[in-house]
Amino acid sequence: MVVTSMYPKDTYPLGGVSLAKAALDWIDSHIEPGQTILEFGSGYATGHLAKKYSMVSVEHNSRYLDRQPTRYVFAPLKQYADGLVWYDTDILRSELDGVDYDLILNDGPGIGQRRGFTDNMAMFECGVPIIWDDCNFECIADPFKEMARRLDRPGKIVFCGARKWSEIGKSIGVIEMAA
């Protein structure tokens, strides 16, 4: 997969630990302005994406609510019997019932907790494209690959380059729309 940058050199609007530029580029080249993105975890990228897209953001930390122009779904983290810590699924079922979206962006909650999305994928319309941020971490790349396998769709991990604050670099995972 080739991702061509929509941002001229040195004009990337985000930085630090925010969503990878390659993810924004992929979204801009595959999602029409005005379409809806369901995002897990919100931050600076939310505000940037909200300039072009309708955003629905699942957030577990009340400190980050109402900071960006999005419809927030506050879903605190809950520990489940298998030890998983993930968003409260009762709240997600209630708050997301009837919400239509054109892309899922999985960038939360924390690094070791994102397998909750794969474990609960039956709750969501997964026929849309799905992007996972931070696939440079094995604990994120593995559940991303498992989701792609379960959906029987190719999952591609794209290396996004080094980051000044990290020796690891940054990668995203992309599962394109179902045929």
Token duo for residue 146: 């498992």
Q: What is the pLDDT of residue 5?
A: 40
| Average pLDDT by stretches of 10, the chain with 179 residues | 40 59 90 98 92 97 93 97 96 97 95 93 96 92 96 92 60 88
Is residue 138 helix, strand or coil?
A: helix
Task: Using CA atoms of 28, 30, 33, 39 in order, give the dihedral in degrees to the nearest 10.
Answer: -80
Q: What is the pLDDT of residue 179?
A: 75
Task: For each of the domains in the chain, give its residue range(s) and CATH number, in order of start.
Answer: 21-175 (3.40.50.150)
Q: What is the pLDDT of residue 16?
A: 54
Element (H, E) at 130: strand 130-133
Residue matched to tokens 């999305």: 117
Residue matched to tokens 């794209």: 158
Q: What is the pLDDT of residue 123?
A: 96
